Amino acid sequence: MDNRGTSNREVIAAITAEVSKVVLGQLPLIEKVLMALLADGHVLLEGVPGLAKTQLISALGKVTGGSFRRIQLLPDMMPSDITGTLIYQPDAHRFLVQKGPILDTHFLLADEINRTPPKVQAAFLQAMQEREVTIGTETFALNDPFIVLATQNPIEQEGTYPLPEAQLDRFLFKLLVDYPEEAEELKILDLPSLDRRNPLQDLQVVTSPEQLIRMREEIKETVYVDDQIKQYIVRIVRATRHPEQYNGLQDLRTKIRLGASPRGGTMNLRRAARVQAFFQGRDYVLPEDVKAVAYDVLRHRILLDFRAESEGLTPEEVIQQILGKVEIP
């Protein structure tokens, strides 16, 4: 690629290096969130508390020159707490718009999204899909770039509201956040910046929201997706809906209740594979790029039947079977 492409990869490396100063042991997670940002998508993070999810998104906002906001979602919240509302001013005899935290920010952390009721979860739908919010009769465009990182705790069930399929489909990736390795956890103890009230104060701004937009558009325009790769993507996604049409997957026919849609599966798999190829220093997509992002794109779009659940089958195992059996054209 040209010098501009090389410069972009240097910026990606610089962002990763800066964020890694305060988020140790989570390098794959940092890269996947950055990939989602450059693919113009949102991320659902599933993991127990204390794994630096908030630290990650705030650090990304700092090093990219973007703004960051965090919303702690609660059972008694209203949609207006997210989007904003109209406030009546008696003296002026008119309503004024009070903007919510989803506006005027680049990085939004929706903490414990499954603790808030469906009507509040739905408040994110328009913002995440159309990148705008309607308050009263006025519609406001969101910042560009704009990314929602929503977290949910996988172990607590009481007092939670599982995200409906329509909401899950708005997330490009569902990432499973695991504990760091022993060596990385030892380094965390020796990191002096984490003892400060503001551990991000020493991080350097290495890019800007405008440059991120240019990088995103360049990836979209210059990373080539061959017709055979497109057909491979379509086959993978269709296998989540009609596994009986593919050799070796007939047993999944009665175990998958719902597969991935063209928007959520096919289009997002191509978007993510483009960015994966770019991260590997290529301007064309290989089947390996599709496989590398397939789990994160598809795991929350495959709903299993009770038969699969009774056997302990997981969406990851279904994806593994599909990738092992669907042939490249």
Please tell me the predicted confidence (pLDDT) of residue 200: 79
The pLDDT of residue 5 is above 50: no
CA angle 79, 112, 56 (to 5 degrees): 115
Cβ pair 102, 143 in contact under 8 A: no
Distance CA 120, CA 79 (A): 5
Average pLDDT, the chain: 88
Q: What is the pTM of this model?
A: 0.89
The pLDDT of residue 286 is above 90: yes
CA atoms within 13 A on the CB side of 124: 29
CA 242 to chain centre: 26
Domain(s) of CATH 1.10.8.80: residues in the chain: 223-325
124-149 pLDDT, tens digit each: 887 888 899 988 888 899 999 999 99
Q: What is the enclosing helix (H) or strand (E) of 256? A: strand 256-258
Question: Which has more confidence, 188 or 44?
Answer: 44
Please report which confidence band the pLDDT of residue 198 belongs to, taking 50, 70 and 90 as the band edges: confident
Over residues 74-81, the mean pLDDT reads 89
The pLDDT of residue 70 is above 50: yes
Please tell me the predicted confidence (pLDDT) of residue 241: 93
Question: Which has more confidence, 238 or 115?
Answer: 238
Over residues 156-169, the mean pLDDT reads 75
Task: Please tell me the CATH superfamily of domain 3-213, with its number.
Answer: P-loop containing nucleotide triphosphate hydrolases (3.40.50.300)
Mean pLDDT lowest among 158-167, 205-214, 223-232: 158-167
- 74-106: b or e for each residue (b if 16 or more CB lie within 10 Å)? eeebebebbbbbeeeeeeeeeeeeeebebbebb
Domain(s) of CATH 3.40.50.300: residues in the chain: 3-213
Please classify residue 314 by burial: count the beta carbons closer than 10 Å to its beta carbon, then call 0-12 exposed, 13-18 middle and 19+ buried.
middle
The single-letter code of the amino acid at 196 is R
The sign of the torsion formed by the CA atoms of 179, 184, 189, 193 equals negative
Please report which confidence band the pLDDT of residue 4 belongs to, taking 50, 70 and 90 as the band edges: very low
Q: How far is CA 43 from CA 101, 111, 225, 260, in A?
A: 18, 12, 23, 17
Over residues 317-321, the mean pLDDT reads 94
Q: What share of the chain is helix, strand, coil (3-state, %, to 5)?
A: 50, 15, 35
Please report which confidence band the pLDDT of residue 318 belongs to, taking 50, 70 and 90 as the band edges: very high
Please tell me the predicted confidence (pLDDT) of residue 12: 92
For the chain, percent of residues with pLDDT exceeding 70: 95
CATH architecture of the domain formed by 223-325:
Orthogonal Bundle (1.10)
The pLDDT of residue 2 is above 60: no
- 113-151: b or e for each residue (b if 16 or more CB lie within 10 Å)? bbbbeeebbebbebbbeeeebebeeeebebbebbbbbbb
What spatial distance separates the first Cα and last Cα of the chain, rounded to whole Å?
27
Question: Which has more confidence, 118 or 223?
Answer: 223
Please tell me the predicted confidence (pLDDT) of residue 155: 62
Please report which confidence band the pLDDT of residue 196 belongs to, taking 50, 70 and 90 as the band edges: low
